[in-house]
């Protein structure tokens, strides 16, 4: 980093998450976009693909050595597709924020079972820091490799970690609903307008890949069911659980994020529009005897992906943690 400016590369900038990173970096006061890759848009200028961004840098491919001149590279590729590239960048001395699940798991064997692959660089797992900013800030500062958490996972972990760490939650059921952009940019009839408009459906029942990530990070068994909403972006997670002390649980939730810029407790139940187009997570809770319900909302592309990734970059390079990140939803 020179003169407080971070040289940034983005791999996979044509996907929804990668494009959001591109948008945030283009407006970041301490970042200089140095390299951007996309197989689909190779050779085209950023401004030709995304007319709203006045950037004349051309898309290259992942083999371009300019990536190794960056201070940090965001790797926004599908799960398993970028693990080897991440290793090459780390070996070259470049710091990496990986938006996939390839380095999120402490247990490499668990990752291999969930994603049904052999990890190409298990040696880097010990180096990787799980990028849940509000919990791992100190480790993130010195990290060479940050594994950005999953979107559903972030919406559940932020309210539930304070309870799980204090032994105040058990029998946890997470019922989450996401906008369609969470499925990624792909040509698939199941995610087309005609299949989704005026529709609402569950998927990945008992086998969604984010469930093991939630359980590993909380240390608790979590029964997780995701649903697809006919909206572009946003996640609303309703989490049901039992608690031995409702008063202590409510106090833990209200005080866990005091002073944080992007996570807060609300006295009223938040809605997706509360946080859409922001890097915030807002949650609220109600209790009835030993039963508790938390409602948590995030923007899946920001706090659930690109926003948290840039927040991680800010921490890594000693910048203002909120630099370049939106805090308020459009009215």
Catalytic residue IDs = 151
Closest CA to 330 of 276, 281, 257, 261: 276
Please, which residues bridge with residue 228 across strands?
A: 178, 201
Q: What end-to-end distance do the CA atoms of the chain give, in Å?
A: 36
Distance CA 14, CA 59 (A): 10
- Let me know how many helices (H) and strands (E) the chain has, helices first: 11, 13
Question: DSSP code of 2?
Answer: B
Please, which residues bridge with residue 7 across strands?
A: 32
Closest CA to 119 of 98, 140, 149: 98
Tokens of 177: 């609903």
3-state class percentages of the chain: helix first, strand second, coil last, to nearest 5 = 35, 25, 45
139 burial type by CB count under 10 A (0-12 exposed, 13-18 middle, 19+ buried): middle
313, 78 Cβ separation under 8 angstroms: no
Question: DSSP code of 160?
Answer: H
The bridge status of strand 95-98 relative to strand 72-75 is parallel
Tokens of 172: 């946890």
Closest CA to 98 of 65, 64, 124, 63: 124
Closest CA to 219 of 79, 106, 295: 106
């Amino acid at each position: 980093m020179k003169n407080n400016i971070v040289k940034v590369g983005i791999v996979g900038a044509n996907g929804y998450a990668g494009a959001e990173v591109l948008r945030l970096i283009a407006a970041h006061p301490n970042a200089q976009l140095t390299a951007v890759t996309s197989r689909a848009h190779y050779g085209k200028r950023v401004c030709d693909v995304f007319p709203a961004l006045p950037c004349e840098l051309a898309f290259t491919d992942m083999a371009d050595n300019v990536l190794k001149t960056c201070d940090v590279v965001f790797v926004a590729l599908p799960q398993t597709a970028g693990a080897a590239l991440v290793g090459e960048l780390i070996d070259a001395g470049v710091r990496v924020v990986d938006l996939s699940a390839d380095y999120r798991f402490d247990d490499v064997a668990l990752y291999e079972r969930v994603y049904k692959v052999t990890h190409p660089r298990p040696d880097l797992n010990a180096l990787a820091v799980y990028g849940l900013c509000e919990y791992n800030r100190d480790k993130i500062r010195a990290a060479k490799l940050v594994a950005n958490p999953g979107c559903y996972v972030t919406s559940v972990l932020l309210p539930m970690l304070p309870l799980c760490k204090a032994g105040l939650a058990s029998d946890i059921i997470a019922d989450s609903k996401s906008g369609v952009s969470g499925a990624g940019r792909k040509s698939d009839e199941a995610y087309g307008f005609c299949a989704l408009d005026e529709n609402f459906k569950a998927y990945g029942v008992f086998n969604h890949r984010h469930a093991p990530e939630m359980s590993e990070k909380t240390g608790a068994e979590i029964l997780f069911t995701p649903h697809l909403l006919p909206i572009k972006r946003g996640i609303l997670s309703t989490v049901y659980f039992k608690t031995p002390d409702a008063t202590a649980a409510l106090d833990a939730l209200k005080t866990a994020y005091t002073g944080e810029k992007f996570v807060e407790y609300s006295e009223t139940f938040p809605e997706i529009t509360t946080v859409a187009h922001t890097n915030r997570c807002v949650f609220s809770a109600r209790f009835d005897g030993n039963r508790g319900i938390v409602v948590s909302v995030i923007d899946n592309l920001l706090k659930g992906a690109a926003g948290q990734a840039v927040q991680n970059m800010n921490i890594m390079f000693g910048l203002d943690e909120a630099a370049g990140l939106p805090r308020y939803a459009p009215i």
